[in-house]
Structure 1
Amino acid sequence: MDRDEELRILDRALAHLHDKRLPLTDADSRVSTDRYQSPDWYRAELDQIFGRLPSMLVHGSELPGPGAFVTMEHFGRPLLVNRDRDGVAHAFLNACRHRGARLEQDPSGVRKHFTCRYHAWRYDTDGSLATIPSAHCFPGVDPAKRGLVALPVVEAYGFVWLMPEAAPGRADLDGFLGSFRHDLADLGLDGFEIYGAESQEWEINWKLVVEGTLEGYHFPFLHTKSANPLFENSTFFFDGFGPHLRSILPKRSINFVERTPREERRLLAVANVIHTIFPNETVLHQSDHFLWITAHPLGPARTLVKLRLIVPRGSVESDGAERWEENRALTYQVQYEDLEIYREIQIGFATGANEEHVLGTQEFALRTFHETVDRHLFGAGPGAQRDGA
């Protein structure tokens, strides 16, 4: 963000510090608990949201050079994400074009080519079919037309994005991000790398994971001994950029920023900045590094949660891993405290205790998020309703 915007945000942070009753909205609101457990709702999300919007597949550092690859499952499709000999990123269906066997078994690595273990059909890193053993047995196969099935990707803002078939290009990605792309570009994530990646499946709805990063109301209670000592209560606020959100979580050090001359004040010295890329990605800026959270839905009540620190490139080798490991341990502890409470909430849905969630004025970003979900599902629908509306 530019300097004027940074100072405006700092002024807003101070306003919330001086008046902790400063509202984010004028009333509380309601969302139905059905949206966290209904199979029909989940299928609509897959079709209307996840099937039609860009997805952040990998950070660029996960493909460090030509031949590097990562495999993953993406909404039931096995993917092979890699760089070709020229360093260009690709995404292919991870399926041999002979009989459909999984082409690459390993989760990551480097290959000069990809060879199917079933009948040894071999493919170059650009997806082209290079070799068919006993090729004379396949007189009707044109190798030029039997390469791996490619999916549209764009590499930008530090990530490789899987694009929808109807909107496959860089202009489509920038249109999706809108003005939020300037914030992402300013993060400079091309100069960073992944550290301490963890993935785990949880019996929770994916939206609970996103919600946990959109309010600070729970910090004094759930994170009493972990994160709460670091952050100032009741000072969270946010801005919307189309479907995306930028949230500010001030630290205790905000109390001393007015002692610093205005021209020397820096937002990241006194706050975390949380970038929520709709629908399910969170990039949390913590001073000189980032936490990247992905909530990948597997079912109405099952989610693959991916946690990754993104640290300055080369800092692990130059400074040692101890610093980052200490940071990772605390950061992930906070996330697992959240995830455990989400698990309890998901169990609570089944009891029927609540037909709706009530969202307070400090949780207004959650309402905004749900209204965005509703717009994608239903068009210009009512979204989450205000109490009494």
Structure 2
Amino acid sequence: MKDSLLSGDRHDDGNIAGSDAAYIANRDMSEFELIDRLAAFGVAENLKNAESVLTGIGDDAAVVSTPSGELLLTTDAIVDGVHFRSADERWYDIGWKCAVSNLSDIAAMGGIPDHALVTLGVPKGVSAETFSDFYSGMNEAFAQFGGRVVGGDVVSSPTMFINLALTGHPSQTRDGVTAWLRRDAARTGDLVCVTGPLGGSAGGLEVLLSGDTNPSGQVLVDRHFHPTPRLEIGKLLVESGVLCAMDVSDGLIGDLEKLARASNVGIAVEMADVPVPTELIFMFGTRAIDLALGGGEDYELVFTTTEAIHKTLSSALGPDIKVIGRVTEGNVPTGEVKVFDATGAVYEPVHKGWDHLDG
């Protein structure tokens, strides 16, 4: 999905030099292999004995302790030609989605958003109206879901880019204990659940690129441009005792592989139970399930939990929470996720999700 307007969880940044830069240039490793390499370097050097780092590289957001409490930190960069197309001039939409991609990371931790810094890389000839519209969309998202832009930077750049960094703070359990959701807390036997239908954003992108004006297609286009971060549900997960979650930003199967790897488990997904928008089925027929499994940028939450906690959540949220599988035993370094069709046979998705270095 290289043409995708924004690319969700594609923000695991690091200072890359020497041999690491060569790996990127030559594409000798995937995005996530590179992240692992940089994370290991950070643990060995920068993060050694860093007692203030409570959750470090590899999750949707970092969690650090400060003298006044815990702090969530996340950042996301978008680049013209990779995450959005400046020629489309949909700057309000780009601003909205730029904010939501960061807000969704805070939601994935069960947190509450606070303050944002925005860095703009500006080519020659960009109009003031461009950034006025961009900030209108971004500020509207923050006004609706929480968070405030408090500063940033502007630099000259041959290619337009935008980087947004967002802070937040953890929520609390019903017992008043400060807690946050993590990717490494899935346990064998847990249910695997999602908070809403998947594939709408990917379908919307295809409709947008095709120029189709079918009303069902336009519903999908709106899902692509105006996703909703599941902040309230994220807080409810923490309150209810859920331990493990992440947002679906790069594609369900690819994201579940990250979760499985972090938790050292396997995951079995029942394809028939994956929620798919009716408009997606109408527009794409049998292709709809592959868009749901690997499309990305839906910004729903996927989480694992016990049957007892799921029952409590179902009482609160009703049909919004869908059980799509179960956590199994596993010890596969890359994270093993198997999808089963209605006959019980293993189904191989056409596309598992987005990887910046593999495409």
Q: Same fold (TM over 0.5)?
A: no
Superposition TM-score, scaled by structure 2 size:
0.27
Superposition TM-score, scaled by structure 1 size:
0.25
Determine which structure has the larger strand proportion and give its number: 1
